């Protein structure tokens, strides 16, 4: 299959790691995979588009021209602000399947263009529940994965006290407050280490 992966991400994070690994895996399986994104974006896209905002009509038109010319079987978007652009670009292009993956728990607002979406992917069952109003066709939970060959499990004795690591962007929607509250309930016999990039607030 010929697949276009779309991500307007500006920085590298978990979502971008997911897209990068997905592209590698699909190519390894024999599919022809192309990435569309911002110029100089973290995923080094082959198709560069401005992706100014979710209502970027100019990017939608340019993307539509590429979709018509290059005859993709699937276009797959991962960032919420790209959904309307991709759905608009795919409108009335026959034979093209549109797939969106939702990586965040926040609900997605309904949009007329989402009628063009063939399938929604949620990375957790909780995220899938937030998509219920949008999933009239096909929806499924497909968790992000870890390459077990790259990160093999190595048993080791627990630290004293047992240490819990939280690695990722330091941002309100990532649930650091929940982790701290959970640790408070566990008591003082556990240690929490937080590492990640944040805005300092």
10-14, 35-39, 70-74, 138-142: least confidently modelled range? 10-14
- Which stretches does DSSP call E strand in the chain? 2-6, 32-37, 47-48, 74-77, 97-102, 119-122, 138-141, 163-167, 191-195
Q: Which residues pair with residue 191 across a beta bridge?
A: 163
- The percent of residues above 90 in pLDDT, for the chain, comes to 62
Check residue 199 and give its pLDDT.
Answer: 66
In Å, how far are 16, 36, 100, 103 from 46, measured between CA atoms?
A: 15, 6, 20, 23
- Residues 114-151: pLDDT tens digits? 999 999 999 999 999 999 877 667 899 999 877 788 88
- Residues 16-64: pLDDT tens digits? 999 999 999 999 999 999 999 999 899 999 999 999 999 999 999 999 9
- Separation of alpha carbons 172 and 53, rounded Å: 22
Domains of the chain: 2-141 (3.40.50.2000), 163-195 (no CATH)
Give the side-chain half-sphere CA count within 13 A for 95.
Answer: 9
Query: Rounded to two decimals, what is the model's pTM?
Result: 0.85
């Amino acid at each position: 299959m010929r697949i276009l992966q779309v991500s307007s991400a500006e920085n590298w994070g978990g979502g971008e790691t997911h897209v990068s690994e997905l592209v590698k895996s699909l190519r390894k399986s024999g599919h022809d995979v192309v990435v569309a994104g911002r110029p100089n974006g973290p995923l080094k896209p082959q198709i560069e588009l401005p992706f100014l905002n979710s209502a970027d009509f100019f990017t939608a038109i340019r993307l539509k021209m590429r979709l018509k010319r290059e005859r993709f079987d699937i276009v797959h978007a991962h960032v919420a602000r790209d959904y309307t652009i991709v759905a608009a670009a795919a409108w009335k292009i026959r034979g093209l399947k549109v797939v969106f993956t939702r990586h965040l728990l926040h609900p997605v607002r309904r949009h007329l263009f989402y009628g063009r979406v063939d399938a929604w992917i949620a990375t957790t069952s909780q995220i899938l529940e937030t998509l219920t109003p949008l999933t009239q066709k096909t929806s499924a939970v497909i968790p992000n994965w870890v390459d077990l060959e790259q990160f093999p499990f190595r048993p080791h004795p627990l630290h004293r006290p047992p240490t819990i690591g939280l690695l990722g962007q330091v941002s309100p929607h990532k649930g650091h407050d929940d982790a701290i509250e959970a640790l408070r309930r566990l008591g003082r016999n556990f240690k929490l280490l937080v590492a990640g990039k944040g805005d300092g607030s």
